[in-house]
Amino acid sequence: MTTIKLHNSKTRRKEVFTPIDDKNVRMYVCGPTVYDRAHIGNARPVIVFDTLFRLLRHVYGPDHVTYVRNFTDVDDKINARAAESGRSIAEITAETTQWYLDDMRAVGAMDPTEMPRATQYIPQMIQMIEKLIADGFAYAKDGHVLFRVRSYKDYGALSGRSVDDMIAGARVEVAPYKEDPMDFVLWKPSTDDLPGWESPWGRGRPGWHIECSAMSYELLGASFDIHGGGNDLMFPHHENEIAQSCCAHPEGGFANVWMHNEMLQVEGKKMSKSLGNFFTVRDLLDGHDGQPGVPGEVIRFVFLSTHYGKPMDWTAKKAAEAEATLRKWRKLTEGVEAGAPAAAVIEALADDLNTAGAIAELHKLANAGDAAALKGSAALLGLLGEDLSGWEVSDVVDLSAQAEAFAGVRKKAMETKDFSEVDRLKALYVSAGVEVRMSKEGVELIAGPNFDASKLEGLK
């Protein structure tokens, strides 16, 4: 069996992954708060952990992997959106949940095994909170229930900070119902105009953190294998999940392996509305600000080209290069039955989900003309699927004859040391939207998404 190694945020080292039960490998990933369209940064953990899901299914078998990703459908952001729009909370969450599913499927993400919604698990949250109070880890005051952070001795181990350091370096809400500034909310009261459920502490709604603990326990048990999410969730969300889960269920260890993906930038800068570089996945898919739409498969390819543990930079140049590569691969694999994934591709993915290394292996397969292995290996990364192209294979422009002629011109130039004609041809092809690749092996011409054949008319 393939040996998988994963970087564990909890231990800060790469470890051999050994599931608790190899017949029931379990993974939980924090999902979205559904009040608006998902921006492209939201898609990164989806694509990262979808790829891990695919690898686990390949190694342990599709029937032996359970992947849970939740929807937060009770939250103050949703309440605010309802208030400003005049629409009902139920209408907003139903619409935005479907948007999310459509957009993530468009970038090649498989649906997780389970997709629980927070509002479906309110009784389980109340039950967990009651146990935390009974065991002295939480307390009720003024309609609120709070977790006593200092009652859990290992608090801060995941993020590597002490409670006192957290207080000094964070904006901690000071409230009269708190015993300690670091204590966090498990339950809070709701006014008549807000969603609420009856509880032992009055009508109210859950805090953010308790939902993931309750849902993961119900669906995966007190101990499971992998917990994932963006590194922005490490503190306080994941830290709080660990504390309340381990205190409520001391018989378990919660998650054995913690994995966190790094954040996303756009054209080398942090994505923000003030910089004008903030856009949603749907903006990319459909086109925005005069830019053409980007196929979902291209988005996925660009994301996978950077290791999940490194910051990722989305650029238009990367998207164009990815599309050119995928068009070439689709032409090569057209009508070919997929073979088994290449061992080198599996090996790369098994090494802490090295997707960039796996894509490098796909390039080698393509250069070797091994279409069957390329197609089968690409499928393991969620690429070259029938439902993901976003374009017709027949649209692929065949410039092999022109590339051969260009190679002849280049060979002659290398003999005469006169490269003026090579430079002229290269500039002409580039102006026509063609990527020109020159190497020891020869010349490769790849028509990009803005290819204009009219600029090559009469080419000599």
Per-residue pLDDT of the chain (460 residues; tens, 9 = 90+): 899 999 999 999 999 999 999 999 999 999 999 999 999 999 999 999 999 999 999 999 999 999 999 999 999 999 999 999 999 999 999 999 999 999 999 999 999 999 999 999 999 999 999 999 999 999 999 999 999 999 999 999 999 988 877 665 555 667 889 999 899 999 999 999 899 999 999 999 999 899 999 999 999 999 999 999 999 999 999 999 999 999 999 999 999 999 999 999 998 888 877 777 788 999 999 988 778 889 999 999 999 999 999 999 999 899 989 998 998 999 999 999 999 999 999 999 999 999 999 999 999 999 999 999 999 999 999 999 987 755 554 455 778 888 888 999 999 999 999 999 999 999 998 888 888 888 887 888 887 767 787 888 777 5
Please tell me the distance from the alpha carbon of residue 266 to that of residue 229, in angstroms, as a whole number: 20
Extract the tokens encoding 19: 């599931």
Residue where a domain stops, chosen among 206, 230, 261: 261
Residues in contact with 373: Cβ distance below 8 Å, sequence separation at least 6, in sequence order: 339, 340, 341, 342, 365
Residues 303 and 234 in one domain: no
Q: State pTM to two decimals.
A: 0.86
Contact 307, 356 (CB under 8 A): yes
Residue 13 three-state SS: strand
Domain that includes residue 437, residue range: 397-456
How many H helices and E strands in the chain? 15, 15
Tell me whether residue 42 is in a domain: yes
Q: 65: closest CA among 74, 73, 56?
A: 56
Q: What is the DSSP string of 78-104?
A: HHHHHHHH---HHHHHHHHHHHHHHHH
Tell me whether residue 401 is in a domain: yes
β-bridge mates for residue 228, sequence order: 29, 259
Residues 29 and 170 in one domain: yes
Q: Say what angle helices 343-350 and 371-380 make with each other, to 10 degrees.
A: 20
Residues 362 and 442 in one domain: no
Query: Distances from the Cα of 221 to the Cαs of 26, 216, 282, in angstroms?
Result: 9, 7, 35
**Cα angle vertex 195, ends 190, 200, to 5°?**
55
Residue 422 three-state SS: helix
Residues 22 and 130 in one domain: yes
Backbone φ/ψ region at 442: left (φ over 0), alpha (ψ -120 to 50), beta: left
Per DSSP bridges, beta strands 184-189 and 5-8 are unpaired
Residues 416 and 448 in one domain: yes
Contact 352, 270 (CB under 8 A): no
Looking at residue 392, its pLDDT comes to 52
Distance of CA 329 to the CA centre of its chain: 24
DSSP secondary structure letter of residue 14: E
Q: Which parts of 259-342 fold into alpha helices (H)?
A: 281-286, 296-304, 316-333
β-bridge mates for residue 68, sequence order: 28, 114
Main-chain phi, psi angles of 129, to 5 degrees = -65, -40
DSSP secondary structure letter of residue 140: E
Residue where a domain stops, chosen among 261, 277, 292: 261
Residues 184 and 138 in one domain: yes
Tell me whether residue 2 is in a domain: no
Residues 24 and 146 in one domain: yes
Looking at residue 433, its pLDDT comes to 85
Contact 67, 106 (CB under 8 A): no
Residues 368 and 405 in one domain: no
Looking at residue 391, its pLDDT comes to 57
Looking at residue 395, its pLDDT comes to 54
Residues 358 and 371 in one domain: yes
Q: What is the DSSP string of 193-252?
A: TS--B--TT-SEEE-HHHHHHHHHHHHH-SEEEEEEEEGGGIIIIIHHHHHHHHHH-TTS
Helix or strand (DSSP H, E) at 133: helix 122-134
| CATH number of the structural domain spanning residue 189 | 3.40.50.620
Extract the tokens encoding 184: 């966090």
Query: Distances from the Cα of 58 to the Cαs of 111, 340, 349, in angstroms?
Result: 16, 11, 11
Residues 353 and 384 in one domain: yes
Residues 26 and 89 in one domain: yes
Count: domains in the chain: 3
Contact 234, 158 (CB under 8 A): yes
Residues 243 and 297 in one domain: no
Q: Write the burial class of residue 241 (CB in 10 Å: 0-12 exposed, 13-18 middle, 19+ buried).
A: buried
Residue where a domain stops, chosen among 261, 284, 303: 261
